[in-house]
């Protein structure tokens, strides 16, 4: 499901169900639009909460957790838009038969109404503020669950033509109940109930303090995964307990071990690289993501930059896979910062028969453009399958080059590296 569809579906349902509750002659009124907008805002907030529960079925519908979080973000933004319309225009007409579902005093009802809007503004503005460091931001964002209850209280306490046992009422009950259950699960039970295994750190290979390869051996419940998927590492060490997503950088192994390539990209990763030691224990919540090697028989181009090389390292080490002769792997890195080293990567590629092209830094992209264009000419732009993992800027360059070569956008799969 695409992000726009995920936003459009609850909105269309909300507008349709509200239309069933009010006289046909009033459909074009601002009051009807305002009431529908209020129902749409609540529905979007509820779905945003449901999406954040990280349930496998939801991930499958969206094609990966990264897409789930993107839809979650846009649901919040559109919820604020609809709630603003609902705030500005009265959602009531004299002729409508209205009643509240629970009765509160008029001053409390008014307070809850104002609060519900302030709460939504608070959630969305905080969520979009990239200046707040992620480790503080996630605690603020957790407040969204309890604050959603204020919005539900507004719906229940405000007089409206929507009765509880009407289609619109049942819709709101169901989505609100699911959202509250999802928020409770994510905030309280996820650490215990979500799929996870316990591992011991059995190898730490570092690259001048800037990156580290961790090898983890299972102690309990090794996770099952497909090469290219990722997991949330939650170290069982004071000061390192914050869960962070990292791609599993190896194929399935008989002993269940997993590797991670972790680069210093901020506070937590710096601390982890500095403090991690053999013998430490960690939980791994996995598998997540749907970044899998295409199996459509096409000529494959893999493009990894920086730590974005991790899923391709996993694909190269997938012992159940074949046809690596169809693969060209472009590895973008800054000179001297290749991790794993160019030699190790070349050995991995040679072992399975894939072509490796190292592109050092941004300045040398002519190398990339020439080889990329040559492959497209060789096999025809329609028969390529391009997999990308790396920075947004490079992704835009790849997209531009694809357009110039007449390669359809549908030939590209990529993972989003941002969860907010």
User: Which of residues 21 and 415 has its CB atom nearest to ligand FAD in the complex?
Assistant: 415
Q: Answer yes or no whether residue 63 interacts with ligand FAD by CB under 6 A.
A: no
Of 23, 203, 209, 266, which one interacts with ligand FAD (CB under 6 A)? 266
Instruction: Specify the residue, 155 or 291, whose C-beta has the smaller distance to ligand FAD.
Output: 291
- What x-and-dash track marks residues 122-141 binding ligand FAD by CB under 6 A? -----------xxx------
d(CA 13, CA 19): 10
β-sheet with 230-235: strand ranges across:
244-247, 230-235, 281-288, 196-207, 211-220, 258-263
| Closest separation in Å from C-beta 277 to ligand FAD | 18
- Per this entry, what is the length of the chain? 420
Site string for ligand FAD, 72-111 (x = CB under 6 A): ----------------------------------------
By C-alpha distance, which of 65, 75, 42 is closest to 178?
Answer: 42
Residue 204 binds ligand FAD (CB under 6 A) = no
Whether omega for the bond prior to residue 287 falls within 30 degrees of 0, making it cis, is yes
45 touching ligand FAD, by CB under 6 A:
no
CB of residue 242 to ligand FAD, shortest distance in Å: 6
Tokens representing 287? 């598998």
388 binds ligand FAD (CB under 6 A): no
Judged by CB under 6 A, the residue of 34, 259, 269, 387 near ligand FAD is 269
Based on CB atoms, which residue is closest to ligand FAD, 69 or 158? 69
**Angstrom distance (rounded) from CA 283 to CA 286:** 9
- Other beta carbons within 10 angstroms of residue 113's beta carbon come to 19
Rounded to the nearest whole angstrom, what is the least distance from the CB of residue 311 to ligand FAD in the complex? 8
When asked if residue 414 is in the footprint of ligand FAD (CB under 6 A), the reply is no
What's the rounded Cα separation, in Å, for the pair 264 and 210?
5
C-beta nearest to ligand FAD: residue: 266
- Supply the minimum distance, in Å, between the C-beta of residue 230 and ligand FAD: 4
**Residue whose CB is less far from ligand FAD, 39 or 65:** 65
User: Of residues 224-263, which lie at the interface with ligand FAD (CB under 6 A)?
Assistant: 230, 243-247, 260-263
Strand 230-235, strand 281-288: pairing = antiparallel
- Only segment of 33-41, 215-223, 377-385, 412-420 that touches ligand FAD (CB under 6 A): 412-420
Of 19 and 240, CB closest to ligand FAD: 240
Angle at 191 between CA 185 and CA 197, to 5 degrees: 135
The answer to whether 353 contacts ligand FAD (rule: CB under 6 A) is no
Q: Is 62 in the site for ligand FAD (CB under 6 A)?
A: no
d(CA 385, CA 402): 11
Q: State the residue for tokens 């972790």.
A: 262
Phi, psi at 56, each rounded to 5°:
-55, -45
Complex with ligand FAD: residue 324 or 417, whichever CB lies closer: 417
Q: Which is nearer to ligand FAD, 266 or 408 (CB)?
A: 266
419 binds ligand FAD (CB under 6 A): yes
User: Is residue 331 within the footprint of ligand FAD (CB under 6 A)?
Assistant: no
**Alpha-carbon distance 9 to 83, whole Å?**
17
Note the maximum CA span of the chain.
78
Q: Which tokens sit at 33? A: 């639009």
Whichever of 172 and 201 has its CB closer to ligand FAD, that residue is 201
> Measured between alpha carbons, how far is 285 from 287 in angstroms, rounded to an integer?
7
Our CB check for ligand FAD shows the closer of 245 and 294 to be: 245
Q: Rounded to the nearest whole angstrom, what is the least distance from the CB of residue 70 to ligand FAD in the complex?
A: 11
CB of 307 to ligand FAD, least distance (A): 4
DSSP label at residue 101: S
- Classify residue 392 by burial, with Cβ atoms within 10 Å: 0-12, 13-18, 19+: exposed
**Residue 354 vs residues 192, 300, 350, 395, 411: alpha-carbon distances, Å:** 41, 10, 6, 22, 19
Look up residue 396 and give its two tokens: 């835009």
The CA distance from 190 to 183, in Å, is 10
Binding site for ligand FAD (CB under 6 A): 66, 133-135, 230, 243-247, 260-263, 265-269, 289, 307, 310, 415, 417-420
């Amino acid at each position: 499901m695409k992000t726009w569809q995920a936003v459009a579906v609850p909105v269309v349902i909300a507008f349709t169900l509200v239309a069933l509750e009010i006289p046909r002659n009033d459909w074009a009124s601002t009051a009807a639009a305002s009431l529908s907008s209020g129902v749409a805002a609540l529905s979007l907030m509820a779905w945003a909460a449901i999406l954040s529960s990280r349930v496998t079925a939801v991930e499958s519908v969206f094609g990966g957790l990264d897409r789930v979080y993107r839809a979650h973000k846009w649901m919040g933004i559109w919820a604020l838009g609809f709630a603003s319309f609902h705030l500005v225009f009265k959602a009531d007409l004299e002729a409508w038969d209205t009643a509240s579902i629970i009765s509160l005093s008029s001053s409390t009802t008014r307070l809850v109404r104002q609060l519900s809007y302030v709460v939504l503004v608070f959630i969305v503005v905080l969520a979009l503020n990239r200046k707040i460091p992620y480790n503080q931001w996630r605690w603020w964002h957790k407040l969204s669950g309890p604050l959603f209850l204020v919005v539900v209280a507004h719906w229940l306490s405000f007089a409206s033509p929507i009765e509880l046992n009407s289609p619109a009422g049942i819709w709101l009950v169901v989505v609100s109940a699911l959202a509250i259950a999802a928020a409770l699960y994510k905030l309280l039970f996820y650490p215990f109930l979500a799929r996870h295994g316990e591992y011991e750190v059995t190898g730490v290979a570092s690259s001048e303090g800037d990156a580290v390869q961790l090898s983890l051996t299972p102690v309990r419940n090794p996770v099952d995964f497909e090469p290219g998927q990722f997991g949330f590492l939650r170290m069982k060490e004071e000061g390192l307990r914050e869960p962070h997503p990292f791609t599993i950088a190896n194929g399935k192994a008989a002993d269940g071990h997993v590797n991670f390539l972790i680069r210093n990209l901020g506070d937590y990763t710096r601390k982890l690289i500095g403090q991690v030691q053999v013998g430490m224990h960690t939980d791994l919540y996995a598998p997540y993501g749907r970044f899998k090697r295409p199996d459509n028989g096409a000529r494959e181009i893999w493009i990894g930059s920086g730590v974005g090389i991790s899923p391709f390292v996993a694909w190269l080490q997938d012992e159940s896979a074949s046809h690596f002769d169809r693969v060209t792997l472009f590895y973008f890195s800054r000179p001297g910062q290749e991790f794993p080293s160019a030699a190790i990567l070349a050995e991995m590629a040679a072992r399975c028969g894939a072509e490796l092209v190292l592109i050092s830094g941004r300045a040398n992209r002519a190398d990339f453009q020439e080889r990329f264009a040559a492959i497209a000419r060789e096999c025809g732009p329609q028969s390529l399958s391009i997999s990308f993992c790396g920075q947004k800027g490079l992704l835009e360059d790849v997209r531009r080059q694809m357009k110039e070569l007449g390669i359809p956008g549908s030939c590209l799969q990529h993972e989003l590296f941002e969860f907010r």
